[in-house]
Structure 1
């Protein structure tokens, strides 16, 4: 340590914009803000207001300008960087296009996503987050088995070096050279892809104009003149080839470039699907603290699958990006679909593409259609509110005279309880559904005078459709929690006679799983939604539209597995199913696609490979918007379900990376193998935060509450 005078010493600071190192005489009681003032030349007109001190050796920002050097632990052997807080981040949107955006690398990732979504005109940014792009190798091994990033020496301008610290979260997912610009420790390395969106942050370290690389995705904007706005982001001049920013993001290219598509991951098992969740960033840390440097690539994705207030009037971009994320999840086989469901998705996708082709530049018509649908949507909301009030006062059947009346559903159905080593088939019973319970009787007469033969509590059950139109099969699979709540789930099957019967009972089971009875105002809407989806899946023989099959490439609409199954009939089947949806508008087709995506059994279940305390066997943990599930690693069957409304607390032992969740009648302890336990913790806390949102128009995003629920106590 070199002392220069009493209680003072030399501090080395590297100014990244100037590629210049300065040595300042400082004292330990000097504030961070005072140190930065010493760096700024008052005669230099450059604006330094966006700059802050970054400590590479500790991997932290010295953001508290009133804190002293002693309080921050800065000593004479330290090297600090004086660098811009806003840097260029290459962001891949859900539709696989890349945007280069100016993002604040010094604030928490959650806040950075909020600012980014505001710029992209995406409402409810709390539903999205950033994740690192994964490669096939990340799906081959669990997080704990992947090689950790080594602490390599980083050379400084004067020849000295220090060890790069291990990153706090997700350091096991290094940014590959194909995606990164400066992850080797440099802060201002030029982008290998070209600067597609905004002017370089530092004219000293990057060329003033760049051209797109040959592998630029289809639909990516070409370089254009930019002007900077006060919010830290660039905005396009009128000469931009991209056109209006929000309008462009509300529609997407039909297919990405071959290079981008070749990087898409297709998980082949439930374990690989679980490993897809290894790359989520920690929302409570800054982007810089998680190993991301300027010109690196991150993926913006919808993380929490509970989409609040999806309104065509305000959410053109949000709906389109949701549709695109759903589309690629289906095409990459991240969700299991039946043949009828796959063809329905393909038909809706074809209708979206057809609508875009027929009105590529008719923005006025598109806007007029949205305005009309928005007005209708507002009217529907008013009608829905009045209807809900009427149902509350009168009951669903208008029975105002008896407010204690509980609606019932009854009919003859077939029943099967899954058991090993049995050849017994379905048995016919008279079913009645009342107050979240299924009661089974041998005959309708028995229901009036005897106790039920079988009673099933549907609260908290798992409901899975089992439909095959070709075979005329309309089944419902129920995984029912035992009455004692401590044993494994019991699997039962219900078989309906026709579509109308199926829609009523399926809607009742879905609402019952959420703790809602037939008196709930959403029952009729649920029935209509199920009927609508079934109508789109119903096979139609013969092509009823004037479309040349040779102009349709089935590779754009079907997953590889379904392509192999349908073989040469793929295009014909797509066009046949398309006749069911050919009258839908562009927005209607996208919303139907999202609705169908949400109806899939595996929708919204984020998987993790875990080990429960005291068990050597690996299992799956599924995290959904209202529950967590213990699942079989091979089959995905639900062994046990725990609802959030029975949860008392959840904690993490950060030392041993073990998580404990307290429920009313038991404690669940497990370690996560496929990701850091912080990722699981954040998903659970995030979904609880999402459930606390309301339709109050004056509601503001409570970031402090989000971090309390998701941040833990690390």
Structure 2
């Protein structure tokens, strides 16, 4: 009889590549790395370097090889999988094409996205993330109303089973004895155990059925090939990286009918808020979030701050960004006027039908600022330096030519309205002057030289919304300002201009003021030209001969259903008339113009969430943008209050009650999120703060540690 030590026991390990379960005699003080070495047969020439231990019951990778079994909590009743870390993930790109890509399932999702974007030749991968595909029923109720389902065994095609995480877990899976019946402590795992599950939109049934390999996919870039179903793969017979990138830099005019039918069209602000439920947790691995091999995830731009959008080296990035913008317009995720919709349709038509493609590396003049996107921190620093210079040298009120620090002014007669409920009061004409980020209103021009203004408005940090309707001759600017230029309850002000020239000058001034920049800023003139250019593209070109057969144009490919219903049988003709304004642009210019117009839409860049503030029973909207969060009315979308990130001191999550608290300089804001887990809101805010800290330095490396510190929710 062989005596076995009391502290040794049998451990079951399933080797997925061999479909073989192996039982090993182990001790609790053995290291994970040593266990893996014992699994490898030295006589087997197979390369096992990409393999690691996965613990299905705990839903974690045992990636820290220096830890012992006792430290990880592995005991005799545990079953581990010895499986490859890199697996095939089916990725839907922003242009709705599918790509089977070899992705590391063991690293944090953020790192997986970085590596994926490197394969796809997309710069600044921190702006993108992976999300789960949603279906129409996911928009019908809030995340908080989704019942928590029990974990059930899921069978793989090879006969192995594992415990499926609770219905679409995309973050913290509870590690507790009551959850799966296993004992042991968590020890020093990568993450502390979190109370409660973090659920998200349930994985669609069709998302799991394709887990078996449908084709052999080469992990190396090759020629792009697309199948009838819209799936794409690599052709291993070709090693042309150039072909691969070229195909990513242009997309088919329309996706296949099946993919098009899966597109969601939110019908209300509530449904738009529910679109954000599917984002993966950037701080956990893909495997830990319920995703298995051959599952489908969507790669999308998540943070709407597009740094250094450069036509010379960003053709893939520009094309995919254009495609995401296009589908957000066609699916009515953003509201557009009739003129704006026709302008988008015309630019899209030009992209689809332009035969001359700008060669890679060619310079283009698109009218969009592509050199870099200034962040708010830089704006405020520049503004502070200019103000300090003026303070030291003195402003020029008398026209002294020796004073080179004189800040230019705007002055003109405009119409003013402060909207109030239960009143019929209309616009009133005032003489406006704008200087030093302040708007001053006088009864007439003479008063501006001798009396105090009737109304003064501080525009620093204001919210600027265009309200333009060319067919009605309406050129209005909606301003939301707070009493002290950044804090307090917003008050709304409407300014109406007489013509588009006047509108462009004042709108450009207001947009710069919102960033804390005066008319002396070098970008003012280019901002004016950009606004005029967009307005010009929205004007119908009557009397222009269109040499295109209307029967070859399908309106449904270029306009949203709402606009098609409005235009009826005139839709195609209106598209072709609008196309006359942009027919001289090449394909790349057209995409950049499309992105520029998309970024100018009133609702652009605001991610919505349904929340309840602490002590309130009524649901409200929270809008998260690149430089602020906004309390909004759930039915109308009106902004009630704005908090800017530069006044934020800290933001925290109470995981026990799923509640988020944000500390500002003058108050604390506490709320619970109903349309998604509070971790999603937390990550949006931390992510935008990370984006604002990026530098124009070309040698800057991506600081993943800082990203996780700002978005992880544990520090």
Tell me, yes or no, if structure 1 residue 175 matches structure 2 residue 197.
no
The equivalent of 2:105 in structure 1 is 105
The equivalent of 2:268 in structure 1 is 269
Q: For the structure 1 residues 165 and 298, does the alpha-carbon distance in structure 2 shift closer, same or farther, using more than 3 Å as the test?
A: closer
Q: For the structure 1 residues 540 and 159, does the alpha-carbon distance in structure 2 shift closer, same or farther, using more than 3 Å as the test?
A: closer
1:3 to partner: Cα distance? 9.6
1:162 to partner: Cα distance? 7.9
How far apart are the structure 1 equivalents of 2:159 and 2:345? Answer: 59
The equivalent of 2:58 in structure 1 is 58
How far apart are the structure 2 equivalents of 1:159 and 1:438? Answer: 71
How far apart are the structure 2 equivalents of 1:470 and 1:377? Answer: 25
> Which secondary structure state, in structure 2, belongs to the residue aligned with residue 373 of structure 1?
coil
> TM-score under structure 2 normalisation?
0.88
The equivalent of 2:707 in structure 1 is 706
How far apart are the structure 1 equivalents of 2:549 and 2:158? Answer: 68
Do 1:432 and 1:440's aligned partners in 2 also have CA atoms closer than 8 Å?
yes
Matches within 5 A, 1:338-349: 338-349=337-348
Do 1:408 and 1:518's aligned partners in 2 also have CA atoms closer than 8 Å?
yes
Q: For the structure 1 residues 463 and 156, does the alpha-carbon distance in structure 2 shift closer, same or farther, using more than 3 Å as the test?
A: closer
The equivalent of 1:5 in structure 2 is 5
Do 1:330 and 1:559's aligned partners in 2 also have CA atoms closer than 8 Å?
yes
Q: For the structure 1 residues 161 and 114, does the alpha-carbon distance in structure 2 shift closer, same or farther, using more than 3 Å as the test?
A: closer
The equivalent of 1:384 in structure 2 is none
1:646 to partner: Cα distance? 0.8
1:371 to partner: Cα distance? 2.2
Do 1:105 and 1:287's aligned partners in 2 also have CA atoms closer than 8 Å?
yes
Do 2:153 and 2:163's aligned partners in 1 also have CA atoms closer than 8 Å?
yes
The equivalent of 2:43 in structure 1 is 43
The equivalent of 1:225 in structure 2 is 236
How far apart are the structure 1 equivalents of 2:367 and 2:623? Answer: 38
The equivalent of 1:186 in structure 2 is none
Tell me, yes or no, if structure 1 residue 126 matches structure 2 residue 126.
yes
> Which secondary structure state, in structure 2, belongs to the residue aligned with residue 300 of structure 1?
strand
> Which secondary structure state, in structure 2, belongs to the residue aligned with residue 645 of structure 1?
helix
The equivalent of 2:426 in structure 1 is 425
1:225 to partner: Cα distance? 3.0
Q: For the structure 1 residues 497 and 213, does the alpha-carbon distance in structure 2 shift closer, same or farther, using more than 3 Å as the test?
A: closer
How far apart are the structure 2 equivalents of 1:366 and 1:152? Answer: 53
The equivalent of 1:283 in structure 2 is 282
> TM-score under structure 1 normalisation?
0.88
Q: 1:195 aligns with which of 215, 224, 235?
A: 215
The equivalent of 1:489 in structure 2 is 490
Tell me, yes or no, if structure 1 residue 367 matches structure 2 residue 378.
no
Moved more, 456-465 or 689-698: 456-465
Gaps of 5+ in 1: 183-188, 201-210, 227-235, 360-364, 382-387
How far apart are the structure 1 equivalents of 2:467 and 2:650? Answer: 36
Q: For the structure 1 residues 619 and 410, does the alpha-carbon distance in structure 2 shift closer, same or farther, using more than 3 Å as the test?
A: same
How far apart are the structure 2 equivalents of 1:674 and 1:625? Answer: 20
The equivalent of 1:138 in structure 2 is 138
Do 2:486 and 2:644's aligned partners in 1 also have CA atoms closer than 8 Å?
no
Provide the aligned length of Structure 1 versus Structure 2: 665
The equivalent of 1:310 in structure 2 is 309
Tell me, yes or no, if structure 1 residue 21 matches structure 2 residue 21.
yes
> Which secondary structure state, in structure 2, belongs to the residue aligned with residue 118 of structure 1?
helix
Q: Deviations over 1:40-59 (max 9, x none)?
A: 00000000000000000100
Do 2:19 and 2:158's aligned partners in 1 also have CA atoms closer than 8 Å?
no
Do 1:4 and 1:25's aligned partners in 2 also have CA atoms closer than 8 Å?
no
How far apart are the structure 1 equivalents of 2:56 and 2:447? Answer: 77
Q: For the structure 1 residues 156 and 222, does the alpha-carbon distance in structure 2 shift closer, same or farther, using more than 3 Å as the test?
A: closer
> Which secondary structure state, in structure 2, belongs to the residue aligned with residue 367 of structure 1?
coil
Q: Deviations over 1:529-548 (max 9, x none)?
A: 10111111112223433111
1:659 to partner: Cα distance? 0.5
The equivalent of 2:579 in structure 1 is 578
> Which secondary structure state, in structure 2, belongs to the residue aligned with residue 351 of structure 1?
helix
Moved more, 625-634 or 149-158: 149-158
How far apart are the structure 1 equivalents of 2:29 and 2:4? Answer: 15
Do 1:459 and 1:513's aligned partners in 2 also have CA atoms closer than 8 Å?
yes
Do 1:7 and 1:27's aligned partners in 2 also have CA atoms closer than 8 Å?
yes
The equivalent of 1:597 in structure 2 is 598
How far apart are the structure 1 equivalents of 2:648 and 2:163? Answer: 43
Moved more, 372-381 or 641-650: 372-381
> Which secondary structure state, in structure 2, belongs to the residue aligned with residue 621 of structure 1?
strand
Do 1:179 and 1:297's aligned partners in 2 also have CA atoms closer than 8 Å?
yes
1:224 to partner: Cα distance? 3.4
The equivalent of 1:232 in structure 2 is none
How far apart are the structure 2 equivalents of 1:269 and 1:571? Answer: 27
1:138 to partner: Cα distance? 0.5
The equivalent of 1:203 in structure 2 is none
How far apart are the structure 2 equivalents of 1:158 and 1:301? Answer: 32
The equivalent of 2:557 in structure 1 is 556
Q: Deviations over 1:246-272 (max 9, x none)?
A: 000000000000000000000000000
> Which secondary structure state, in structure 2, belongs to the residue aligned with residue 492 of structure 1?
strand
Do 1:181 and 1:294's aligned partners in 2 also have CA atoms closer than 8 Å?
no
Q: For the structure 1 residues 400 and 606, does the alpha-carbon distance in structure 2 shift closer, same or farther, using more than 3 Å as the test?
A: farther
Do 1:29 and 1:68's aligned partners in 2 also have CA atoms closer than 8 Å?
yes
> Which secondary structure state, in structure 2, belongs to the residue aligned with residue 540 of structure 1?
coil
Q: For the structure 1 residues 158 and 225, does the alpha-carbon distance in structure 2 shift closer, same or farther, using more than 3 Å as the test?
A: closer
Q: Deviations over 1:617-667 (max 9, x none)?
A: 000000000000000000000000111111111111111110111111111
How far apart are the structure 1 equivalents of 2:570 and 2:409? Answer: 45
Do 1:195 and 1:223's aligned partners in 2 also have CA atoms closer than 8 Å?
no
1:195 to partner: Cα distance? 3.2
Moved more, 158-167 or 303-312: 158-167
1:404 to partner: Cα distance? 3.9
Gaps of 5+ in 2: 173-197, 373-381
